[in-house]
Amino acid sequence: MATEIQAEVITDYADMNYPGLFLVRVPGERDVQESVNYFTRQPGVAYAEPDYLIRFDRNPDDPDLLHQWGLFNTGQVYKPNTTPGIPGADGKVTDAWNVSTGTKDVVVAVLDTGIDYYHPDLSGNLWTDPVTGAHGYNVIDGNYDPLDLWGHGTHCAGIIGAAGNNSIGGTGACWNVSIMGVKVGQSWEGTISGSIYGILWAAQHGADIMSCSWGEEKPSRALEEVIASTDALFVCAAGNSETDIDQKPNYPAAYDLPNVISVAATSPFDTLADFSNYGAKSVDVGAPGVDIYSTWKGQSGSNVFWHDSFDSLANWSYIGDWHLDNEKYNSSPSSVCVNITFQNPSLQKFLVLHTPVNISGYTRPELIFSCEGVILWPLYTRLSVDACVDKKFEWKRIGEWAGAFLSFDDIHCDIPDDMKDSEILVRFIVQEQYPLEGINKTLQLWIDDVRFSNKTEAYTPSYRYVSGTSMAAPFVAGVAGLVKSEHQNLTPAELRETLMKTVDLKDGLKGKTLSGGRINASAAIRYTPEPDTGVLLLSPGWNQISVPDALEPGFNTASIFSQVPNGGHALYSYDPKTGYVRVNETDIIRPLNGYWIYSLTSMDVSVRFQPDPSIRKDLEDGWNLFGLLSEVPVPARDALACLGNNWTMVTGYNASLQWYDEPILREHLGNISDNRLLVPYQGYWILMNGSGTIS
């Protein structure tokens, strides 16, 4: 039978002990479904079907994927000495990769401490300025070098877009993406002005998504307005102080803007992380943020020329309760420890090297020390390192930190150029910035193995586990990049809506976030937003109409009225210079314009919107036909405030009565008051005594 349609049997599965099954190739010009139908009709054929393509789960070959429970949680041991999580308590990213692994066309700006652009797991996914060749911008120093000297920004960048399937390290939520480094802070601090500059720079250079793992309790109108006016999705960390930010806001996460999505942190058990801020109105979604494994600032090779392992405190003077601890250390026999009580913000605890170290002759000197403990967020306490030269005691800050060092971790401080070729002293300072109400326990911080070394050209990439909403926000930014890669026409507001409407609902996030759920990349990338729709109600006879927003392309011409029985009448607009203008079926229906349409019957005309914030209409002296730019009624004085005193009168047309409404006069009272409402979908005549623009 196969020969009748020139088909060829290429596999007989009888050879595999499965007789009766055949793989048949049909000529390329034959339709597949027609061939299936042909074979189905043949005697002795039980069924025929196409040789469907299958798609393998697109898990990358990166060896550290099993450490990344947020991407891939099977209940595995993702970190030594840690209780495994619950299978499936992840962001559902691996299934999303079956649809897309991202595209370099999507640009995600990381507004943070910079990016280690030498890191091999990031270098292939870096955005590059076609003019300068830079990978971003350094707002702090005002140059094109966003190199991360701390690590926080590098960690966020890896969560978003560490290269996938490159056989090294881990992978980001978005394997393929363009990561733009915008350095707006050093260590754990930046400024509002710096953040604003960074946002504007990123926007000018094409950022689609901005990852903001920082915040401030004081609102900034300037920052809010810049964010509101920027055509990008801002993914903002909710904060890490276990606070309801509905009551005590943290900005920019708490800004109620359509292009801001605020993110809480979730655990491997699909619960709200114990440190995470929350808010039923102000926090939108949850995302993995506990023990998140990602890239960190790499380390240069070093030749150590001075080392103190704290066998004693002989080299040090101190103020405060610094003491040796022979039970916890990085190298035996002991470390130095200080207590943190959160109760005395005026007390600084100093540990000062009193014997200078000669660093002259070294070209790239640095200070290295190992640290463990919790420095509870920048608002409450911080660790700082100062240096001075030649015993002049003119101290200069060379590093500052806050956060969690869950095990002894090396911290590197570059020695400034003006301190080289000298003898140097350093001091460690622990200061509590504010008393922390409700905290009565004492935490501890350990320091060990203080070293001076000379850096070499050798480079070792680093990875690290870190917890915080600072990790949850870039996770969502990476997922947003995946969704944007598949649906590139989504506006920031639509992208936010997609992420929020596709969450996995979780009891622990109900009442704690607006969506009540944890991000689901698989559902988000497959989601098609329902169109924003409205209805124009037509009455028999003439109707004076408008549309209250821009219409969706493909549904924005006069053809939307093609089913209206018009009795041979045309659709008209009005030009103040030439009078009535016939509207053709292919002409665009524009918001803020008024139109006349005739209908033989009552009829509903559905319209689909694609909001456009740039809409405006110029009005000329004399009579103009216009409409309201709102989907809710607005008092005339408010809707026309942008015209100042340049308007005199407005009147609408009552289609039910087939007659004009009583006019509205500017600055009048009673029945003709300018406090009367203008309504959406209604067209209006307006008498101008000068020109003006409605927007």
Rounded distance between C-alpha atoms, residue 601 and residue 620, angstroms = 34
**Do 246 and 99 fall into the same domain?**
yes
Q: Give the lowest-confidence range in 14-23, 87-96, 143-152, 198-207.
A: 14-23
Tell whether 119 is covered by a domain. yes
pLDDT over threshold 90, residue 188 = no
Task: Over range 321-341, report the average pLDDT.
Answer: 92
Same domain for 495 and 455, yes or no, is no
pLDDT tens digits, one per residue of 215-254: 888 888 889 989 998 999 999 999 988 999 999 999 999 9
Nearest-angstrom CA–CA distance, 482 and 58: 14
Which domain range does residue 675 map to?
A: 532-694
Q: Across residues 132-152, what is the average pLDDT?
A: 92
Closest CA to 98 of 60, 50, 67: 60
The partner residues of 573 in beta bridges, in order of sequence, read 581
Helix H, strand E, coil C: the string for 605-656 is: EEEEECCCCCCCEEECCEEEEEECCCCCCEEHHHHCHHHCCCEEEEEEEECC
Is residue 322 over pLDDT 90?
yes
Please indicate whether residue 568 or residue 330 has the higher confidence score (pLDDT): 330
> Does 283 share its domain with 311?
no
Burial 88-97 (b: 16+ CB within 10 A, else e): ebbbbbbbbb
For 107, 203, 264, 365, the CA distances from 129, given in Å and listed in that order, are: 12, 13, 32, 31
Q: Answer whether residue 634 is part of any domain.
A: yes
What is residue 44's predicted lDDT score, i.e. its pLDDT?
85
Q: Are residues 644 and 507 in the same domain?
A: no
Higher pLDDT pick, 27 / 660: 660
The residues that bridge with 545 in the sheet, in sequence order, are 595, 682
For residue 59, is it within any domain?
Answer: no
CATH of the domain at 353: 2.60.120.260
Average pLDDT over residues 672-694: 94
- Higher-confidence residue: 361 or 16? 361
Please give the angle made by the CA atoms of 174, 178 and 184, to the nearest 5 degrees. Answer: 105
> For strand 622-627 and strand 683-688, is the pairing parallel, antiparallel, or unpaired?
antiparallel
In 3D space, the residue among 623, 661, 629 whose CA is nearest the CA of residue 642 turns out to be 629
SS3 of 311-325: CCCCCEEEECCCEEE
**pLDDT above 60 (res 342):** yes
CATH number at residue 77: 3.40.50.200
Residue 476 and residue 261 in contact, taking contact as beta carbons nearer than 8 Å: yes
What pLDDT score does 344 carry?
Answer: 64
Quickly state the pLDDT bin for 150 (edges 50, 70, 90).
confident
Burial state string for 592-607 with b = 16 or more CB within 10 A and e = fewer than 16: bbbbbbbbeeebebeb
- Name which of 25-39, 216-230, 532-546 the model is least confident about: 25-39
The confidence score (pLDDT) of residue 50 equals 82
Check whether 58 has a pLDDT greater than 70. Answer: no
Question: With bands split at pLDDT 50, 70 and 90, how would you rate the model's confidence at 1?
Answer: low
Q: What is the arithmetic mean of pLDDT over 7-11?
A: 83
**Euclidean distance between CA atoms 261 and 492, whole angstroms:** 10
Choice between 346 and 289, residue whose per-residue pLDDT is larger: 289
pLDDT band at 56 (very low <50, low <70, confident <90, very high): very low
Query: Does residue 131 sit in the same domain as residue 268?
Result: yes
Q: So what's the pLDDT on residue 53?
A: 43
Q: Are residues 409 and 481 in the same domain?
A: no
Strands 647-654 and 683-688: what pairing?
antiparallel
Question: Tell me: the pLDDT tens digits for 269-279?
Answer: 999 999 999 99
Distances (CA, A) of 242 to 123, 255, 287, 468, 518: 35, 19, 16, 11, 18
As a 3-state breakdown, the chain gives helix, strand, coil percent values, each rounded to 5, of 15, 35, 45
Please give the DSSP secondary-structure letter assigned to residue 127.
Answer: -
User: What are 343-386's pLDDT values in tens digits?
Assistant: 666 678 999 999 999 999 899 999 999 998 865 444 456 789 99
